[in-house]
Chain A
């Protein structure tokens, strides 16, 4: 890539590398900051699901530009990392949310909407039908 050997191209590459690196670091920092001050599990989940994808993506772009600048080679693997991340991030977020719902983690009081997954199950709270294998169960409610 001989056409790249010009001073102003080096300067431009350097500037772009710096820009993407700082932007990526900033986004990642903000999303980590969200982990500290958001108030329930479901809210905190939003940070890693999205902001991290963009943060890592930007840092990888910076990485790619850096290698063009220093070694004059183009590493396509870094692009692959971003694509894999885009494919896997929503799946891990979905599974985390499913587990949280299964564990009935409390959601913030300002949350509107009550999904049936978070409601207390009303089965087996008050056994009024006798269990076939446990003699004497269900006796409490019979007069």
Chain B
């Protein structure tokens, strides 16, 4: 009981402690103790702002998703850089309404962040009433293709992982 009350978020506490130790660059008693204090204090102080902790149903898929997003970020950067580097080629921007099928706030946040980080798209506005996400696309001529790609590449894996 006491442990549960002091450590409402064990994973967050662990990450905070690890980050503190990494930031102080050396493993000494001081840094470990300070990390432990931060790991206990910060979750306790911010607990009221947190939603229910999401449950990762398929950890391996989460790992695969992370790797895929990393590769996509690299490609997205090169793609956008290449597009910008040719001023004579006019991009074809578009606003797209993306229909959301995800339900939980946490997975929607992950999807929106992923969209912002990957090829030529930025999530501009989340409409929780209509369950849709407004996306600005840098260069496209086929809106349906963009929607399909986001659904197959990111939303479906996220749904399998979290919902």
Interface residues of chain A, those whose CB is within 8 Å of chain B, are: 27, 30-31, 33-34, 37-38, 40, 42-43, 45-47, 49-51, 53-55, 75-77, 80, 86-87, 89-91, 93-94, 97-98, 100-101, 107-108, 110-115, 117-118
Complex contact B143–A112 (CB within 8 A): yes
Residues on the A chain within 8 Å of B136, using CB: 42, 45-46, 97
Residues on the A chain within 8 Å of B25, using CB: 75-77
Interface residues of chain B, those whose CB is within 8 Å of chain A, are: 19, 22-23, 25, 73-74, 76-78, 80-81, 84-85, 87, 90-97, 112-117, 120, 122-125, 134, 136, 138, 143
Residues on the A chain within 8 Å of B84, using CB: 30-31, 33-34, 37-38, 47, 51
Complex contact B113–A91 (CB within 8 A): yes
Kindly state the separation between the CA atoms of A54 and B75 in the bound complex, as whole angstroms.
10
Q: B77, B85, B91, B124: which contacts A98 (Cβ < 8 A)? A: B124
Complex contact B80–A46 (CB within 8 A): yes
Shortest CB-to-CB span from B59 to chain A, Å, is 19
Kindly state the separation between the CA atoms of A43 and B2 in the bound complex, as whole angstroms.
52
Kindly state the separation between the CA atoms of A106 and B120 in the bound complex, as whole angstroms.
19
Q: A37, A42, A94, A110: which contacts B112 (Cβ < 8 A)? A: A94
Kindly state the separation between the CA atoms of A96 and B89 in the bound complex, as whole angstroms.
26
Complex contact A113–B95 (CB within 8 A): yes
Complex contact A43–B73 (CB within 8 A): no
What would 12 A/B residue contacts be, using CB atoms closer than 8 Å? A30-B85, A38-B84, A42-B122, A46-B120, A46-B122, A47-B84, A107-B95, A110-B90, A110-B93, A112-B92, A115-B124, A118-B95
Q: Which residue of A lies closest to B87 (CB)?
A: A37
Residues on the A chain within 8 Å of B96, using CB: 113
Q: Which residue of B lies closest to A32 (CB)?
A: B84
